[in-house]
Amino acid sequence: MSKTIIALDFSSEREVFDFLDRFKKPVFVKIGMELLYSCGLGIISSIKNRGHQIFLDLKLHDIPNTVRAAMRNLASLNVDMVNVHAMGGLEMMRAALSGLEEGKKGDKRPLLIAVTMLTSTSVDIMNRELRIQGSVEDTVISYAKNAHSARLDGVVCSVNETDLIHREVSEKFLTVTPGIRLENDSTDDQKRVATPQIARLKGSDFVVVGRSITRSLEPERVYSHIEEIMSSKLDI
Ligand code: C5P
């Protein structure tokens, strides 16, 4: 499985396939709400039929029974990775996993990842609006522990939280990290960014990369470069 996930932050099918046609080999892509809601579910099989792997980033959060049924349907689409909000609680996360097991095609179910705290949530929002006390970091670790005890496969987190999660939760618990930029790239709207080298050194299992690849004049070259770093031994 590729360790570099390209965020397909496009709003039309045409843009997606113009972009993917520039790759000679299959890649791992992330489809979010924007693309799915504008193109419909058909885009998933069109991308799958071309051999690509898919992280379907829909961040489910609902009552356990609904999430279980939704996950059963998502598993039948044969996607490779899906996610839920850890804030939905242990029972919801366990139900999500059961739904994936029930709906999977063949032996393999999609990997199930939890979103801990959205990076747009500041400590102030968390304390005053969501009424969760303490630091964001403590909440992230405690939600990651919940996700691990519900037997999920990992969490979405920032590169800065990766080693802490591996230390406090489990070395084998997967960390999927966005906010990646090559050294000379613009940071755009991302507040905290890391290079693929740092992500690799800190132990990220997957990096999610959008604009550094999608806006590049040579997307395949940039993708291969990042993938090489992510797959390299640690003495880089
Ligand atoms: O273009 P860029 O590399 O910043 O895109 C990052 C992708 O990762 C986007 O799809 C963004 O929504 C997603 N993401 C993020 N930060 C999070 C969670 C997801 O940037 N905390």
| 150 Cα–ligand 1 center, Å | 25
Q: Which two tokens stand for residue 51?
A: 């051999």
Question: Rounded CA gap, 169 and 135, in Å?
Answer: 17
Question: Rounded CA gap, 226 and 106, in Å?
Answer: 31
Q: Are 96 and 86 in contact (CB under 8 A)?
A: no
Q: Which residues contact 191 (CB under 8 A, 6 or more apart)?
A: 119
Judge whether 59 counts as a catalytic residue. yes
What's the average model confidence in pLDDT over 22-32?
97
| Per-residue pLDDT, 233 | 78
| Per-residue pLDDT, 236 | 47
Residue type, 115: V
Please tell me whether residue 10 adopts helix, strand or coil conformation.
coil
Question: Rounded CA gap, 55 and 5, in Å?
Answer: 8
| Per-residue pLDDT, 13 | 94
What's the average model confidence in pLDDT over 33-45?
95
Which ranges in the chain belong to alpha helices (H)? 13-20, 33-39, 42-49, 64-76, 90-103, 123-124, 136-149, 159-168, 196-202, 211-214, 219-230
At 217, is the pLDDT very low, low, confident or very high (cuts 50, 70, 90)?
very high
Which residues face 7 on adjacent strands?
30
Nearest Cα residue to atom 3 of ligand 1: 210
**pLDDT tens-digit profile of 75-84?**
999 999 999 9
Q: Which atom of ligand 1 is nearest to the CA of 120?
A: 21
User: Which residue is listed with tokens 């790239």?
Assistant: 185
What's the average model confidence in pLDDT over 213-236?
90
Q: Which residues contact 86 (CB under 8 A, 6 or more apart)?
A: 93, 114, 115, 116, 143, 144, 146, 147, 155
Q: What percent of the chain has pLDDT over 70?
A: 99
Helix (H) or strand (E) holding 58: strand 53-60
| 158 Cα–ligand 1 center, Å | 10
| Per-residue pLDDT, 234 | 67
Q: Which residues contact 107 (CB under 8 A, 6 or more apart)?
A: none
| Per-residue pLDDT, 235 | 56
- Cα angle value 126/129/135 (rounded, 5°): 20
| 32 Cα–ligand 1 center, Å | 10
**pLDDT tens-digit profile of 75-111?**
999 999 999 999 999 999 999 999 999 999 899 999 9
- Cα angle value 95/123/161 (rounded, 5°): 65
Is the model's pLDDT at 212 over the cut of 70? yes
| 84 Cα–ligand 1 center, Å | 16
| Per-residue pLDDT, 187 | 81
Q: Which atom of ligand 1 is nearest to the CA of 157?
A: 21
User: Which residue is listed with tokens 């804030």?
Assistant: 87
Ligand 1, CB within 6 Å, residue ranges: 7, 9, 32, 118-119, 156, 178-180, 188, 190, 208-212
Sign of the four-CA dihedral 100, 103, 109, 110: negative
Nearest Cα residue to atom 2 of ligand 1: 210
Please tell me whether residue 146 adopts helix, strand or coil conformation.
helix
The preferred substitution site among 5, 6, 9 for testing ligand 1, maximizing ligand atoms within 8 Å of CB, is 9
Nearest Cα residue to atom 6 of ligand 1: 210
At 11, is the pLDDT very low, low, confident or very high (cuts 50, 70, 90)?
confident
**pLDDT tens-digit profile of 166-205?**
999 999 999 999 999 998 888 888 777 899 999 999 999 9
| 189 Cα–ligand 1 center, Å | 10
